[in-house]
Structure formats: C-alpha cells, structure tokens
Amino acid sequence: MGKSAAIIGAGPAGLAAGRELALAGVDVTLLERDAIVGGLSRTVEHNGYRFDVGGHRFFTKIDEVGEIWDDLMGDDFLTRRRLSRIFYRGQLLDYPLSVSSTLRTLGIWESLLSIGSYLWARVRRVPEDSFEGWVTNRFGRRLYEHFFRTYTEKVWGMPCTELSADWAAQRIKSLSLWRALRDAILRRGDKEATSLLRQFKYPRLGPGMLYRRYAEQIEQAGGTIQLNSPVTQLRLDGRRVTRVVAEGPTGPLDVEAEEYINSMPLADLPLRVRPEPPEDVLEAARGLRHRSFLTAALIVDEPDPFPDQWIYVHEPDVRLGRVQNYRNWSPAMVPDEDRCCIGVEYFAWTSDSIWSEPDEAIIDLAGRELGKLGLIDPASVMDGRVVRMEHAYPVYDPGYDRRVRTIRAWLAEVENLQTVGRSGLHRYNNMDHSVLTGMYAARNVLGDSHDVWSVNTEEQYLEKRSQPE
C-alpha cells in the first residue's frame, strides 16, 4: 500500500488502530511510554500473582469489537458470573441493589423517607449545573446522600457541586446500578434487574493477555512497537505533522510518517507540538485535569476472603475506594490455592501525599483499612505491590467542555493528525468505545470518513444486550 503511520500510545485505542493498519499493509510504528502495552487495561505480574489495574469486564454491543476480542482470545476468553457489592454502613449490599438489602441497610423508616425525597424531587427541581443537581433531580436528595455523594467525592477528590452534570448524564444513565437502586426503593426492581448484565467475559490471565495479542498481531504483520519511549515532540509544518520525537531507552527516536494517531492525554498533546499552537489552545490544554489512582495488590494468606470480583466502598472513614479479589476474575491469576491476591484502589491527585508515599506505607495502609472493614485480617498480608496510574480519569470540572472544544477546533486544522481513546478525547469512554475510536481513526487513514468524536455520544449505554444472561 505504501502508506505509513505513527501512533502515540499502545493502550486499547492505539493498539486497535495499529492492528487495523498493520493488517492492511500500512507501515505502522507505535510509541509507548511504559514498559508494557495495554495502558489502563494492563495486567501486572508480581511473584507469579497477576492483577488487573482497574478491573475490566469485557462486554460490548459493538459486534465487530466483540468478534475481534473473541478471535484473539479463543478458549482463553472465560465467561464469568458477575458478583459485585457495595460496602455501606458496615454491610455489603447487593449490586445491583435489591429491595431486601436496601431495606436491611436503610431501615423501613429511612426507605420511606427516601421515597418521599424522590417524589419531592420530581416536582421541586433544582438547577442542573452540577453532578449534585443532576442526581438530586432524578433520585431525590436522600438517595443522593446515601449512595452517590461519598463514593463520587472519593473518586474525584472534589465536592459534587464542582463536578459537571455531564459526568452524570454520560455515566449514571449507563450504569444500571443507579436505576436499580431507585427501582429497588420503589419496589419496581425485579423486572428491571433481570435485564442487568450477570455475565461477562474475561481473559484467562487478565486484560493484558488480550492486548499483548493485539501487539503480537501488529508485529507479525510488520509493525513496530517501541516501548519505554515517551513522545516529547510533534513537529508541525503548516497544517501537517511531519515527525514525532520520542525519548527511547537508548536515546532519541525520530519517526516520520504520512499519518499520525494520538492517544496521549488531550491535555498534553498541544504542549508537545512545535511550533507551539495559539495561546488559547495552550491555555485550554493546561486547564484540563485528570484524576489518577493507585492499586495496592496484597498477597494474603487466606484462600478466598470474599466471593465478589469487586466491592465499591462507600464508607467515609476509610480512604480506599474499591477492592478487587483477582481469583474471582480468573483462578489462573493466583498461583497458590491457599492464598489470594486482593487489589485495594485509591483515587488521588498526583500532588496528594499518598501518591509519593513509599510502597511499604501504602501496602500497610491498605491492609489496615481492609481489616477495619472486616474483609481480611491485616496480619495475613504477606507481600504486596503498588502500581500508580496517572491520567486515569478525565475530570469533568466546570469549563472542561469549553476547553475540549477549543483544542478540538485547533486539531481540525491539522490535516494528518487524529486523537483517540479515553485520554486522547478527554472522555470517560468504556473500553470498547476506546477500541472503536482507534479502529475508526485507522480506517480514516485507509480512506474512510468516520467522526471519531461521535463515538459514545449516545445518551445511554445499556448493558442488557451485551451478553446472554
């Protein structure tokens, strides 16, 4: 074919783009800043124990994405029965919430008050200029306080009044938990709950197994993947990118191509361009923020302390936000039947003290907080590993949409540069949506005309059709 393309980042979107192009005969080079592929969907190994950074279920309504995943994984794609719960007021509630667990936790009187609060919110609406207002109008003030506020503020590190209503409009409608909560309180839940996703697929050795196979196909088709090679510059000549410069493990890398696809954070992209974009674009980029998180994977001398794949922790007196039991994602993740690997997740700004604390201190904190919740005995923690992930969650704070529009308008003037993925679009995409953006960008290189920015703009992303019950 004679075409060439350079792709910044080897996460789901970058790998999806690279696979499409390499299989079509394009000379493709991927530049990845980390030592492994997969981005946020990587799998980390520590002394034979594997753990998923973030927890990733594989489900999709996008048939072509699902077919590629099935083809790449074959018999290594496990079908798992989902079990996840919410830790609230010292109890584990069903997820999605059931009438019985909600009544047991809130009590009949508080449940009735929550119903009244919901009904009041239907007739006395508040301004929808924040996450808090959006949720309150649809679920009532009391349900918002019980089941939305604490966890959301843990994730985002800001009051819900400072989080854009766009976040709620995009994500809560697509999370059946919240609809099930309301329906459970109003005793409408049984029929609706049966439509919720009860099964999902999962690679036998974690998400990294799938994305390594993407990488293998790219390389087998003649593509190149340069790891440990963060991009430092994109050189612009008029309206076209002419080369990217990366800092490789043995020195600078200079990659020239006809087409460029970016999946580094949208906040970083304009800052890497030379000559610099206009000041309003740079200002918009500097104003975009990301929430980071870290995972403390604990090797615990217990076989299986709880049956869930993951638990959302709404307790305000512990800092951890989510807990994972990796054996229940896939037994092959844990090599010792008498021990388990528990992931404890903390959401943070990189300026927070926890971000720079020694790994040993974080492992100790994670063990103590799990003990405080009664999930494990802290004395049973034998070993651990901490993984920090920057730029994990694009922040929907006031003005973020204006900043994105400014950068997007500038990008529209660059003829051979596309941006894809969660970070590259500054949009909290599901994994399959990120993959699709990469596929669309690749097909644009091949002559199609897809609007990458239109992916995942539908009002709802329901799970009910994604896998058989």
Contact (Cβ atoms closer than 8 angstroms) between residue 304 and residue 269: no
Q: What is the pLDDT of residues 136-193, one digit of tens each?
A: 998 899 989 998 999 999 999 999 999 999 888 777 754 444 455 555 555 554 444 4
Element (H, E) at 361: helix 359-373
What is the per-residue pLDDT for 328? 97
Among 91, 184, 83, CA closest to 143: 184
What is the per-residue pLDDT for 189? 46
**Cβ neighbours for 186, distance < 8 A, ≥ 6 positions apart:** 115, 118
What is the per-residue pLDDT for 168? 83
- 258 DSSP 8-state letter: S
Distance of alpha carbon 283 from the chain centroid: 26
Domain covering 4-39+205-286+398-454 in this structure, CATH number: 3.50.50.60
Helix (H, G, I), strand (E, B) or coil at 239: coil
Distance of alpha carbon 446 from the chain centroid: 28
What is the per-residue pLDDT for 81? 93
Helix (H, G, I), strand (E, B) or coil at 413: coil
What is the per-residue pLDDT for 378? 97
CA dihedral of 329, 330, 336, 342, whole degrees rounded to 10: -20
> Which segments of the chain have a pLDDT < 50?
174-178, 189-196, 459-469
The pTM for the full model equals: 0.92
Tell me yes or no: is domain 290-394 CATH 3.30.9.10. Answer: no
What is the per-residue pLDDT for 139? 86
d(CA 149, CA 137): 14
Element (H, E) at 452: none
Q: In the chain, which residues fall in CATH 3.90.660.20?
A: 290-394
Q: What is the pLDDT of residues 34-80, one digit of tens each?
A: 999 999 999 999 999 999 998 899 989 899 999 999 999 999 999 99
What type of residue is 101? S
Question: CA quadruple 75, 81, 83, 84: dihedral positive or negative?
Answer: positive
Question: Can you read off the two tokens belonging to residue 36?
Answer: 């492994």
Contact (Cβ atoms closer than 8 angstroms) between residue 343 and residue 323: yes
Q: In the chain, which residues fall in CATH 3.50.50.60?
A: 4-39+205-286+398-454
CB atoms within 10 A of CB 223: 21
**Cβ neighbours for 262, distance < 8 A, ≥ 6 positions apart:** 7, 8, 9, 269, 417, 418, 419, 420, 424
Element (H, E) at 209: helix 207-220
What is the per-residue pLDDT for 182? 54
Tokens 């048939």 belong to residue: 63
Element (H, E) at 160: none
63-73 vs 431-445: helix crossing angle, rounded to 10: 100
**Cβ neighbours for 106, distance < 8 A, ≥ 6 positions apart:** 114, 146
